[in-house]
Structures are given as structure tokens and as C-alpha cells.
Amino acid sequence: MTATIESLSQMEVRRGTLAPAPPREIAVRVRDLIKVYRDGTEANRGISLEVRRGEVVAIVGPNGAGKTTFLRQLTTELRPTAGSVSVFGVDAVAEPERAKRAMGITPQEAGVFERLTVREHFELFARLKHLSKREAREAAREVIEELGLSAETNKNVGALSGGQRRRILIGLALLGRPPLLVLDEPTTGLDPSSRRAVWSVIRRAVAVGATVILSTHYMEEAERLSDRIGVIAAGRLIAFGTLDELLVRLDRSYRLSYRDPIDPSSDLKIRYCASFAQAQQHIARELLSEYSIARASLEDVYFNLTGEPFDKDEAEAIG
């Protein structure tokens, strides 16, 4: 059946009546993106990737890796030094206004108007997105409910907790249901329950057709929320794929964490092993008493790619 359809469409293509069906539409296409800041900092050094419609792509990397620089070029806030960005086929460098219309954006740092109530805040931004008064009211109501902020509707934004404010910023990106959401560290600094609330908001947006590009320095977030993960280090995209695709690049995919039995007060040590059995052999040979064995994770991929641990950065971010 499939073969018949395929050969039929191939015939049509040969006759020039039909274009070959694309496997899945590309939402964002980035080619050789370079950003050199005025002071000479090379923040992005040639990044290329494609994001398909309906995908959630997480960009991970430690502070200073170039994530924000990358996202701000996608959202047209920053002009690339070289390279191209297209958003649903629109050249974002040549036509930033048009490209931007397809996007909802949550910047890493953004102010809120403390004196406005939650509802006023959303209505104002909906109006700025050219929604009519009625549409704005309706969009605000929907987003407030979706974000679990109904009880805060008439509170001043200035009176909200950090987690609630962060949710407001994400809500602003959702207004008007843009097909592409670009979220720079949407959950940084949130407590676990606010983080989960944000995740479910993002998942719901995807369920109704949105494409999402977000950055995070929480590896767990990338693992759990995204379809594909791009790892940025020192301005370069050093890996891009599904978690499984990234994990198979590790030839030693078991992580043994242990304390040195001779110096138990020292830091945890890490050793990568090809198999569970090999980890056990090491434990027996070294007479380890305090240890754990785990399957490798995205953090291990990062460590293997860069030679640097990832959690160092996370500890700094929390501390």
C-alpha cells in the first residue's frame, strides 16, 4: 500500500506536478551563526541546527557558554555577526519584525510592572501584541488559569513570589498562542513545584501545536522536557540529538561514584565503566564501602565531551 503511494507520488514528482512531501516541516533553521560582541568576545562561534515543528529543543551549557546570545539572535534582539536564521521560512535577519510575529519570548532577565495587577499585566501585553480589547481580556484569563495564578488575578505583580513572577514572564510568551516559544532559562531559581508548573505549561503549549526552544542549565530539565538536546560549550554546539543519541556516544555508560576508603572526607570520585560488572569489579578490587552505580546521564555526556563536570556550575548557581 505504502509502496504504491510512494511510487505514485514519485511519478508525479518526475512529471513535475507535485513536490516531494517534506518529512516534517522545519520551524527554525540556523546556519553558521556567529556573534562577536563589540569588546571582541566570541560568544557564538558557528552554530548550525534545525528545529522541527512541534519539537521541544533544550539548549544546555554552563554559564557563559553562549546560550543567551544564541537565543537573542533567534528572537532578533541581537543581530548576528554572520550566519543566518530563518523562522517558519522567514529570514529573521532581513525581516526581524515578521519573524518576531511568530514568536513568544521569555528573556532570561526581564522586568515586570510591579504596580499592575496580574490581569492588567497580561491584558497590557496582549494589547501590545495587537489583540483587540476583548481578545486581550480572554487571552489574559486563559493564560492566568493555565499558569495556576487564578488566585492572584487581582494582586499587584510586585506582591508575588519569585516563582509566580517567573510564571508571569512565561505567560507573556504564551499570549496570543504564537507557534514558536523561545524561553531563556524559564525555570532558573524556581522551587521544584513552580518548576513542575512551568513544565506542564510548556507541555500543554506543545500539545496544541507550539514549537519550543529553551535554554537551561538543569540537565534534568533537558532530559525530561525536550525531544532533542543541543549542548553548547564555549560558543560551539558540540552535540545535538535525542538523549538516547547522546548517550550512545558514551562507550562507558555506567557511572561509579565513590569515596576514597583511605581518605573518606575527600570529595566524591567518579569513574566511568563499560558495564555494571566492571563497576562491581572496581568496587571489589578497591575495597570501596561507600559508592553508588548509576546509568550515565546527560551530565556524563557533558563531562565526556568537555572534560569538565557540569554540576560545579549548578552548585554555583544555587549558592
Ligand X SMILES: Nc1ncnc2c1ncn2[C@@H]1O[C@H](COP(=O)(O)OP(=O)(O)O)[C@@H](O)[C@H]1O
Residues that bind ligand X (CB under 6 A): 37, 39, 41, 43, 61, 63-69
Q: Measure the CA–CA gap between 5 and 30, rounded to whole angstroms.
A: 33
Q: Could you tell me which of 151, 162, 87 has the C-alpha nearest to residue 119? A: 151
Give the shortest CB-246-to-ligand X separation in angstroms.
18
* Nearer Cβ to Mg ion (35/67): 67
CA 309 → CA 228, 255, 313, 315, distances in Å?
A: 21, 13, 8, 11
Q: Measure the CA–CA gap between 218 and 234, rounded to whole angstroms.
A: 17
- Counting contacts by CB under 5 A, is residue 68 touching Mg ion? yes
Give the shortest CB-213-to-Mg ion separation in angstroms.
13
Give the shortest CB-198-to-ligand X separation in angstroms.
18
Give the shortest CB-63-to-Mg ion separation in angstroms.
7
Binding site partner of 43, from ligand X, Mg ion, none, Cβ cut-off 5-8 A by kind: ligand X
For 43, the enclosing helix (H) or strand (E) is: strand 42-52
Binding site partner of 61, from Mg ion, ligand X, none, Cβ cut-off 5-8 A by kind: ligand X
Give the shortest CB-139-to-ligand X separation in angstroms.
29
Residue list 101-130, contact with Mg ion (CB under 5 A): 108
CA angle 133, 139, 142 (to 5 degrees): 145
Binding site partner of 69, from ligand X, Mg ion, none, Cβ cut-off 5-8 A by kind: ligand X
Binding site partner of 289, from Mg ion, ligand X, none, Cβ cut-off 5-8 A by kind: none
Which of helix, strand or coil describes residue 33? Answer: strand
* Residue located via cell numbers 499587584: 156
Strand order in the sheet with 254-258: 269-273, 254-258, 291-295
Residue list 260-279, contact with Mg ion (CB under 5 A): none
- 10 Å Cβ neighbour count for 281? 12
* Residue located via cell numbers 556567529: 34
Binding site partner of 66, from ligand X, Mg ion, none, Cβ cut-off 5-8 A by kind: ligand X
Give the shortest CB-239-to-ligand X separation in angstroms.
15
* Nearer Cβ to ligand X (69/76): 69
Only one of the segments 52-60, 62-70, 73-81, 109-117 lies at the binding site for Mg ion (rule: CB under 5 A); that segment is 62-70
* Nearer Cβ to ligand X (41/132): 41
* Nearer Cβ to ligand X (63/242): 63
* Nearer Cβ to Mg ion (80/176): 80
Give the shortest CB-61-to-ligand X separation in angstroms.
5
Helices (H), the chain: 2-14, 67-74, 96-100, 118-128, 133-146, 162-174, 192-207, 219-225, 243-247, 276-285, 298-306, 311-318
C-alpha cell at 298: 546527560
Binding site partner of 39, from Mg ion, ligand X, none, Cβ cut-off 5-8 A by kind: ligand X
Q: Could you tell me which of 254, 230, 242 has the C-alpha nearest to residue 302? A: 230
* Nearer Cβ to Mg ion (214/250): 214
* Nearer Cβ to ligand X (37/276): 37
User: Would you say 58 and 70 are in contact if contact means Cβ atoms under 8 Å apart?
Assistant: no
Give residues in contact with Mg ion (CB under 5 A).
Answer: 67-68, 108
